[in-house]
Amino acid sequence: MKRVVVLAALLASSIAIAWAYAEQISAPRRRGAEFVADLHRMGLKQMLPDTSARFYLHKREAVVGWRAALGGYRPDGTYEGLDIVLRQISEGNAAGQWERWRLDDSANTGYYVAGGFRFREGQWEVIPTTWIKLAGPRVLVQQNIKGRAFRSAADVPDSYLPEGTMDLALRAMRGQARSRQFNFIDNSIPPTGGKPQFIGLKLRDITEETPLPAGTVAAIESSIAGQPKEIVFLDEQGLIHTTKRGKLSETRSSPAELYEHFPQLDGQLRQIQQAVQLVAPLD
């Protein structure tokens, strides 16, 4: 009888431990899903400011490039964004990545295109590699990865963060005592069985344990399994001020600061924008 009682106690303990572990895993995802539901319900205009243009210096030990984050509302009420990161490789040679997207106010439908570019011998070459169409609960995806073309489709999980809304998720983490987990599509990971792979992304407020750079009030840790963690520092308005990934960092800067390092910035940005709009229409 004593043996039966001990075994029953062990079984109950194992169940409790398993339940607690499952709750620890599922709770952040549930909180992420709640945020996404609020986003769909409230709409972008209630949560996302008209950000216009923000510029960042892209550094290791020295300045190696720039980033431009452009965005705003269109007359039809949709939000359109464009993100460009340029790395200066050598004199007259540059390369980088870009993302372009458009979402309706509810963030239930939209279109996203991303790719790379390079500048050699006086010419810009812009190559799209990823296309994602969001239509209600379903995504249609095209990817070109290492010369192979992939097509996939699936219903999105309830914690799926629509492309272009990462800044919102980061802003909303400020002051949150508990982490949130979201799902997204990594452009570099191919689908399996005709379905895109939804990668887990966990966000956590680490302000209390992190030294803050001047001009910032919050630190948010972003982590993906198997990848280095990223720390995003927010200013008083909740906008990204600095992002750190290992030795690489991006710091929000004025156009005047960027011109000191990149006097051709205006021309480069305009040419890349025009090339992206040509090869990656959103209509």
- Reported as a single tens digit per residue, the pLDDT across 188-216 is 999 999 999 999 999 999 999 999 999 99
Q: How far is the C-alpha of 41 from the C-alpha of 169, rounded, in Å?
A: 15
How does residue 5 score in pLDDT terms, banded at 50, 70 and 90? low
- What is the pLDDT, as a whole number, of residue 255? 85
- What is the pLDDT, as a whole number, of residue 18? 40
pTM score: 0.87
Per-state percent for the chain, helix, strand, coil, to nearest 5:
25, 45, 30
**What percentage of the chain reaches a pLDDT higher than 90?**
67
Task: Check whether 23 has a pLDDT greater than 70.
Answer: no
CA 128 to chain centre: 18
Task: Check whether 43 has a pLDDT greater than 70.
Answer: yes
Task: Check whether 21 has a pLDDT greater than 50.
Answer: no
Contact, 86 vs 268, CB < 8 A?
yes
**Minimum mean pLDDT range among 57-61, 212-216, 230-234:** 57-61
How does residue 221 score in pLDDT terms, banded at 50, 70 and 90? very high
- What is the pLDDT, as a whole number, of residue 89? 76
Q: How far is the C-alpha of 196 from the C-alpha of 212, rounded, in Å?
A: 37
How many Cβ atoms are within 10 Å of 220's Cβ, its own excluded? 24
- What is the pLDDT, as a whole number, of residue 50? 62
Residues 106-155 pLDDT 10s: 999 999 999 999 988 788 999 999 999 999 899 999 999 999 999 999 99
3-class DSSP state for residue 226?
coil
Q: How far is the C-alpha of 143 from the C-alpha of 125, rounded, in Å?
A: 18
The more confidently predicted of residues 283 and 124 is 124
Contact, 243 vs 249, CB < 8 A?
yes
